[in-house]
Amino acid sequence: MWHEFWGSGYMKEALTAAIESGFSNMKLNRINAYVALENKKSSNTLESLGFVNEGIYRDKHLYKGKYYDHYSFSLLKKDWNRE
């Protein structure tokens, strides 16, 4: 599934636009994101954008009969430095 584009920075670019819209247009104060513990690349992308890992959300997602833990990330408007 479009593996040739992985690691090219497109997700970071798309997330930056979505975050900007959330804080500017929607007047959000907080944006949450959840990432499977095994998904290190997504965790790294969120952290590079200023998201803070707030801990583990246990048994968050049921997939194929098994529950999976996820990291809970947040970004506050006051911490967004791209404005």
For the chain, the structural domain boundaries read: 3-79
Q: What is the per-residue pLDDT for 83?
A: 46
Angle, helix 40-48 to helix 10-24, in steps of 10 degrees: 50
Say if CB 16 and CB 48 are below 8 A apart.
no
- Percent helix / strand / coil, the chain, rounded to 5: 35, 35, 30
CATH among 3.40.50.1370, 3.40.630.30, 1.10.3720.10, 3.30.70.1060 for 3-79: 3.40.630.30
Q: With a cut of 70, which residues of the chain have pLDDT below it?
A: 1-8, 82-83
What are the distances in angstroms from CA 80 to CA 42, 45, 54, 69, 70? 18, 14, 16, 27, 23
Q: What is the per-residue pLDDT for 2?
A: 58
pLDDT in tens, 23-39: 999 999 999 999 999 99
pTM of the model: 0.84
